[in-house]
Amino acid sequence: MTSPQESAATAGPVTPARPAAASAIGRPTPDDRGPRDRRHYSLLARDRRFGYLLVAPATLVLLAITAYPLIYNIWNSFQRDVINSGIPPTFAGGENYKRIFTDNQFVPALAHTAGFTVVSVAVETVVGLALALALNRKFRGRGLVRAAIFIPWAVPTVVSAQLWKTMFDPQTGWVNYVLTSLHLPLANTTWLAEKWTAWGAILVADAWRNTPFMAIVLLAGLQVIPNDIYEAARIDGANAWRTFLRLTLPLLRPALMVALIFRTLSSFLIFDVVYAMTGGGPGTSTSVLSYLNWQAFFVYADYGYGGAISVALVVIALVIAAAYVRVFRSEQVL
Amino acid sequence: MTAATVAAARGRGRTAGHRVRPRKVAARVGFYILIVAFVVGSLFPFYWIVITSLKTPAELSAGTTSLLPGHVTFGSYSADLTQTSTTGLNFGRSLLNSAIVALSTTAITVVIAVLAGYALSRTRMRAKGPVLGFVLIAGFFPPLAMVGPLFLAYRHISLLNSYPALVITYLIYTLPLATWFLANFFSQLPRQLEEAAVVDGASRLQALRRVILPVAVPGIFTVAILSFILAWNDFAFAVSFMETPDKYTAPLAIIGLGQSQYQVFYNRIDAAVVMVTLPVALLVIFAQRRIISGLTAGALK
């Protein structure tokens, strides 16, 4: 592994007091090739110990804030445990799991979450791709436009939800004002008071903040596609649509996959927007999994029920993560 | 002068040489309409917020939809920063809370992730694969699935309503991304750097500090910016762990202001929205490329 020149260079200044110090960097030194003496093993052991020492803080912190809550939730999901009720926790068997699949909260919230994820990711991908393709062309002021469209992403999610809540306000908001002045339908809608209009408002708030992210990631992907490929396609007489389908899309695949999975996961875990805009209402018609999970803990104080929802949430997130890892492996982007 | 200008000049010459076709003109007009629509759609809500924040309460009661303030005043900003509401909410204090928590999270993330990233890229430890895998999976952990047990744990050790509760918890947003990014970053640096230092008698930690860190500044900078943004933007943990208004972070305070509408005018809320957005907006404008490469953990160069 080490080239002769390098080993000569490292062998030179090494004093007997610090034998083969260079091997501590994690690469075999000339010594490694000889008989496997004790010194080699101790150096390797030292290197490993050093490595474990350095990853220990990160690993321990992450274990404490992920594995501990997970185990606690699994344990609790088999308990009847309402905090502050004065009743000590008792073993509940599969009661909580039976409850989440039969009550009128979890399954509707799961359906809402899945539906929202599909629709929001689809909308944000299509619009984001159009935007990325537009920004990939050279025009005056492109840098400025690129910076401008990314600004909504700088607004904290919950604040963007609050902002859009004021935009959709029936009396003082801009949405109804514009619809009224243009004599368009829905001008008198009380957006957050009905299920489907409330979902529309949530979708707009979410897409406003996240489409720019999608567009900028896809733009980064578009910019690594070499120009001469397009030149060749043009000379071959391919039209724009064919070039897009046969060249751009396949070459954009890695970036598209990365963006899709990022957005799928964060869409699936949507919480802030629902909390700030609708509180899951009207009724529970815009309730989503993360919001229901939060309610279970902080409104119902039911840690058994909340634990079961948390476990379900983790399982779904891990399925998405597994898809992510597979994609990364097959695309070899890491 | 440069190759770029020459190419641009040549490009211009080519378009000028072509006969202008009506279909092409239409396509070009459509293209610009699309761009303008995107820019307006992205910026208009923000523009409206800025305008509203500059209006007087009297002007606001006449209607919120006018596009220019009649009389520009920064009264809402100074009121936000100085006045404390009857519930004990002071937005200046909330901004300070957010800054303390986000900066602490950033500092701790950088230290821990530099150590871990270095070990993952430069030592022969056996558990490299499992540790990287665990870090990646931790990055996918749903925040709302942790919040219940963490609430009980923090209550048990009296950390509720304190900065450390948020800082520790925010590491779930920042550490996985930072560790992955830095492990990738370090593995692209030449090994000869530390080898020379170690040969000169430095310990490995000294080599990391004196030789690797200076070279790794761009990567660390990216990680720091992202950590700050992720911590600054959180709402879910803040609303779960912070109980008294004097400990609210800025996003939490804005939702608090929004829910007590009978007292607070929109201009006050909107001034708060502008203030909470400004730091991140500046980062987004000046460090966009870093943010994107960091968020995708360097998967796209």
Distance from CA of A59 to the nearest CA of B (A): 7
Identify the DSSP state of A248: I
The tens digit of pLDDT for each residue in B26-83 reads 888 888 888 898 899 889 988 888 888 888 877 777 666 677 777 788 888 888 888 8
Superfamily of domain B91-295: MetI-like (1.10.3720.10)
Interface of B with A in 71-110 (CB under 8 A): none
Distance from CA of A204 to the nearest CA of B (A): 11
Distances (CA, A) of B242 to A274, B220, B235: 20, 30, 10
What is the predicted ipTM? 0.84
Say if CB A333 and CB A258 are below 8 A apart.
yes
Q: What is the mean pLDDT of residues B221-228?
A: 92
The tens digit of pLDDT for each residue in A70-115 reads 999 999 999 888 887 778 888 888 889 999 999 989 999 999 999 9
Domain boundaries, chain B: 20-82, 91-295
Which is nearest to A7 in space by CA: A26, A25, A31, A24? A31
Q: Which residue is listed with tokens 């992450």?
A: A62
Distances (CA, A) of B183 to B110, B119, B121: 12, 8, 5
Question: Residue A57: exposed, middle, or buried by beta-carbon count in 10 A (0-12, 13-18, 19+)?
Answer: middle
Question: Taking CA atoms, what residue in B is nearest to A13?
Answer: B199
Listing DSSP states for B54-104 in one string gives TS-HHHHHT-S--SS-SS---HHHHHHHH---TTS--HHHHHHHHHHHHHH
Tokens of A81: 């445990």
Chosen for mutation from A61, A62, A227, A305 (greatest number of chain B CBs closer than 10 Å) is A62
pTM of the model: 0.85
The tens digit of pLDDT for each residue in B23-37 reads 788 888 888 888 898
Report the percentage of chain B scoring pLDDT > 70. 87
Q: What is the CA radius of gyration of chain A?
A: 28
CATH number of the A106-286 domain: 1.10.3720.10
- Extended strands (E) in chain A: 79-80, 90-91
Q: Which residues of chain A have pLDDT under 50?
A: 1-24, 28-35, 333-334
What b/e sequence results for B275-294 when a residue is b if at least 16 CB atoms lie within 10 Å of its CB, and e otherwise?
A: bbbebbbebbeebbebbbbb
**Residue A24, pLDDT score:** 45
Q: What is the CA radius of gyration of chain B?
A: 25
Q: Which residues on A lie below 8 Å from B233 (Cβ)? A: 156-157
CB pairs below 8 Å between A and B: how many? 310
The shortest CB-CB distance from A66 to any of B141, B152, B236 is to: B141
Peptide bond between residue B130 and the one before it cis (omega within 30 degrees of 0): no
CB atoms within 10 A of CB B148: 27
Q: Is the dihedral of CA B145, B148, B153, B158 positive or negative?
A: positive
Element (H, E) at B36: helix B22-53
